[in-house]
Structure 1
Amino acid sequence: MAGPYSQVVLFGDSLLQGASQVQDGFSFQGALQHLCMRRLDVINRGFSGYTTKNALYVLHDVFPPASASSPKMEYLIILLGANDACLPIPQNTQHIPLDQYKDNLTAIVNHERIRAHNPKILLVTPPPLDEVRMEEVDLQRGHPQVSRHASVSAAYSDAARRIASEVPGVTLIDLHKGLMDKAISLTPGFRADGPPLGYPETGRGGLAQLLPDGLHMSGEAYKVFFDLVEPHIGPFPEGCEGYPFPGWQTLNG
């Protein structure tokens, strides 16, 4: 008898929690589950507002010990850092210093509960920040100042790149670059020799389509994300070969 389906696990903050939503006719999690249908289950463990510190706190409960009777985690997609990069200001308690962020992220990808499954780990850089829109949102919420800076968020994305390059068995998914490239393609006249999109000096440009509130992704942005992840899942055999359960032709044969 076949055992439980192996898994693709999404572990992160609201950017993964929101991956289950259908936006603009697209769902990242839906597309990923369709890709893995009848082979792997896609499990969403995204927690809105979480930092790497919060993620480490719950990691033992999110990932039970590996056993012969429990599902095997084949792939782990980690996306954390957008909240760590909040500014250390009185109205926000999420800020995690950059060095601690790097230490926390390293501890997560090397954690014994994760490594016991020997999964393929896809470490995702936090996306770009549209600081122009973020300031509008913060002020609308009654905050006295912006809670995030685009340049600070970019530094955390760069830190995730370094972790992916330094830790064996970790594959980089450069969502920051993927979304920025897409935004540039949507911004006629953008000058590459100036500040990036989303910075106060440059304006929103194509990021307005991809990050409606300055931070969270639109359906179009999730499609960019999926296109970056898809080549790293599989390949799977054609037809029913490799399915945990047989096809109907075999059962009816």
Structure 2
Amino acid sequence: MATSYPQIILFGDSILQGAIELSDGFSFQAALQSKVNRRYDVINRGLSGYNTSNALAVLPKVFSPPGPGVPKIEYLFILLGANDACIQLPTNHQHVPLDKYKTNLKQIITHPTITAHKPKIFLITPPPLDQIRITELDLASGHPSATRHAKISASYSEAARQVAAEIPGVTLVDLWKALMDTAIRKTPAFDPKGPPLGYPEGQRGYLEHLLPDGLHLSSESYRIFYDLVSSFVDSNDEARVFPDWRQAPWLEEDAHLKG
């Protein structure tokens, strides 16, 4: 049987699906794979448009229980919620109520197939939302109003924080805070006493560069995201699945033949 590599799985929606793309010379997934090459395989299971109910429904088809020939899941990164937070509209049916969102996250994290692998689990908050830009694009696409609201989306990010705190062993990755802190720092005219960035009564500020369409990450945002998660992943060169060629067992055999 072929030797399998332990896996790092990215499980979520379009934000993780897009992590594989190369933009402005950077790819989140390629950078992560480069860091752990020969130790882990980075597997992208980002599914555009999915909410937590969709993710929970397909989970048994995405993950296999441990067994012969099944790679061990060493790290699991979960990022869901941007679609759950959608507003209920005749033109959009992705909404999942906040309490159900939290319940779904807990069921994903504690699913028997997942826990059987005993992975290190990282729950990522959905990123901020630029409702100003979202509104422009949604109206142009034929929606009667914005499909997402910044304040509501922020409440789903807070719910993810709560779930991470409630389940032992789960590590929070606060992508919302990292991106918003960056946007505030790079918006000289931002007034902390005024509306938050991206809210309709305020301004886009530097979110314009971090969230070009109001929702999905720019290459700069993916770099910030990578910096958040890369320190959690083991990069020990001694933990390679196959040994360095200088220490491989066949060297002893070669030396014996030459002797």
TM value normalised by structure 2: 0.94
- Determine the C-alpha separation between the residues in 2 that align with 1:32 and 1:152: 31
Residue identity in the other structure for 1:134? I
- Determine the C-alpha separation between the residues in 1 that align with 2:164 and 2:110: 11
Alpha-carbon offset, residue 3 of structure 1:
2.6
Alpha-carbon offset, residue 220 of structure 1:
0.3
- Determine the C-alpha separation between the residues in 2 that align with 1:133 and 1:186: 18
SS in 1 for 2:66: coil
Alpha-carbon offset, residue 88 of structure 1:
1.0
SS in 1 for 2:67: coil
- Aligned-pair identity in percent equals 58
Quote the residue 1:243 is aligned against.
Answer: 240
Residue identity in the other structure for 1:242? A
The answer to whether residue 223 in structure 2 is matched with residue 226 in structure 1 is no
SS in 2 for 1:217: coil
- Determine the C-alpha separation between the residues in 1 that align with 2:24 and 2:214: 17
Give yes or no for contact 1:56–1:104 (8 Å, CA) kept in 2. Answer: yes
Give yes or no for contact 1:2–1:244 (8 Å, CA) kept in 2. Answer: no
Give yes or no for contact 1:24–1:218 (8 Å, CA) kept in 2. Answer: no
The answer to whether residue 38 in structure 2 is matched with residue 19 in structure 1 is no
SS in 2 for 1:214: coil
- Determine the C-alpha separation between the residues in 1 that align with 2:29 and 2:239: 22
Quote the residue 1:58 is aligned against.
Answer: 58
Alpha-carbon offset, residue 29 of structure 1:
0.3
Residue identity in the other structure for 1:250? Q
TM value normalised by structure 1: 0.96
- Determine the C-alpha separation between the residues in 1 that align with 2:147 and 2:62: 29
Give yes or no for contact 1:2–1:245 (8 Å, CA) kept in 2. Answer: no
Residue identity in the other structure for 2:247? T
The C-alpha deviation readout for 1:23-78, integer Å capped at 9, x for no partner, is: 12111001110111100000000000000000010000100111142100000000
Quote the residue 1:110 is aligned against.
Answer: 110
Residue identity in the other structure for 1:151? K
- Determine the C-alpha separation between the residues in 1 that align with 2:42 and 2:24: 21
Give yes or no for contact 1:19–1:27 (8 Å, CA) kept in 2. Answer: yes
Residue identity in the other structure for 2:140? Q
- Determine the C-alpha separation between the residues in 1 that align with 2:183 and 2:83: 22
- Determine the C-alpha separation between the residues in 1 that align with 2:17 and 2:152: 23
Any gaps of 5 or more consecutive residues in structure 2?
252-259
Quote the residue 1:72 is aligned against.
Answer: 72
Quote the residue 2:168 is aligned against.
Answer: 168
Quote the residue 2:178 is aligned against.
Answer: 178
- Determine the C-alpha separation between the residues in 2 that align with 1:149 and 1:2: 49
The C-alpha deviation readout for 1:6-39, integer Å capped at 9, x for no partner, is: 0000000000000000112111001110111100
- Determine the C-alpha separation between the residues in 2 that align with 1:226 and 1:173: 11
The answer to whether residue 34 in structure 2 is matched with residue 34 in structure 1 is yes
Give yes or no for contact 2:65–2:117 (8 Å, CA) kept in 1. Answer: no
Quote the residue 2:86 is aligned against.
Answer: 86
- Determine the C-alpha separation between the residues in 1 that align with 2:59 and 2:218: 28
Alpha-carbon offset, residue 159 of structure 1:
0.1
Name the stretch that deviates more: 25-34 or 61-70.
Answer: 61-70
Quote the residue 1:148 is aligned against.
Answer: 148
Alpha-carbon offset, residue 2 of structure 1:
7.2
- Determine the C-alpha separation between the residues in 1 that align with 2:30 and 2:192: 35
- Determine the C-alpha separation between the residues in 2 that align with 1:69 and 1:139: 49
Quote the residue 2:100 is aligned against.
Answer: 100
- Determine the C-alpha separation between the residues in 2 that align with 1:107 and 1:89: 27
Alpha-carbon offset, residue 158 of structure 1:
0.2
Residue identity in the other structure for 1:237? N
Residue identity in the other structure for 1:245? F
Alpha-carbon offset, residue 246 of structure 1:
1.5
Residue identity in the other structure for 2:22? V
- Determine the C-alpha separation between the residues in 2 that align with 1:96 and 1:6: 33
